[in-house]
Amino acid sequence: MFDYAAPGNSLINIQDIARPLANNCRFAGHLPWHYSIAQHAVNVSRLVPDDLAFTGLMHDTSEAFTNDITTPLKVALPAFKDLEVSIETEMARQFGFQFPLPPEVKLADLQMLKVEKELIKQDFSDWEVLHGVEDPPLDDLCLDPLTPDQAYELFMERFYELAS
């Protein structure tokens, strides 16, 4: 049970985060194949400096409890942002990552949004939020289709690599 009114009352382990992130797709599932939030998080962790890699990995932990709500829907539901912040604040406290997110993590998140939008979603339309965002190096990114179980394993391996 997750207490949305008081996230601090919820005892969460990493599997409670990794499994839903692996099962849920980016872009609310509007993709040609399964590309999970977990896979996205691993990729963000690979784009930031080493000292921010754990924060990069954990930056979307609230989505384990809210799913990947698209930005236009978040804008339409202003109370949702407060909920997201309260969950992320508690997850940061429990797991020991930085929140609010540092600028480097926010940039890596936008870079991944651009990559995913173009290379996975095949959407080449103009998104204002991506103006001025440069393409990241693709060398260390995993953009291949993964099953939810594979995405879970990828996330857990990265978690244990960075948490040690």
Tell me the CATH number at 62: 1.10.3210.10
Residue of 103, 98, 97 whose CA lies nearest to 159: 97
Domain that holds residue 20: 7-163
- Please tell me the predicted confidence (pLDDT) of residue 5: 95
Determine which of 12-26, 64-78, 104-118, 128-142 has the lowest per-residue pLDDT on average. Answer: 64-78
Give the residues across from 36 on adjacent strands.
25
Predicted model pTM: 0.96
Flag whether 2 is in a domain: no
Is residue 1 in some structural domain? no
- Residue 84 and residue 66 in contact, taking contact as beta carbons nearer than 8 Å: yes
87/109 Cα distance (integer angstroms): 18
CB 87, CB 7: distance < 8 Å: yes
Predicted pLDDT at 70: 84
Is residue 33 domain-resident?
yes
In which band, very low, low, confident or very high, does the pLDDT at 74 lie, cut at 50, 70 and 90?
A: confident
Burial of 27 (0-12, 13-18, 19+ CB in 10 A): middle
Percent of the chain with pLDDT over 70: 100
Q: Among all chains, which residue has been given the structure tokens 């985060």?
A: 17
Query: From CA 57, how far away is CA 17, in angstroms rounded?
Result: 11
CA torsion through residues 117, 120, 124, 125, sign:
negative
pLDDT at res. 78: 87
| Residue 142 forms part of a structural domain | yes
pLDDT (average), residues 121-139: 97
Angle at Cα 38 formed by Cα 146 and Cα 43, nearest 5°? 85
Instruction: Give the model's pLDDT for residue 72.
Output: 85
If one counts the domains in the chain, the total is: 1
What residue type is 2 in one-letter code?
A: F
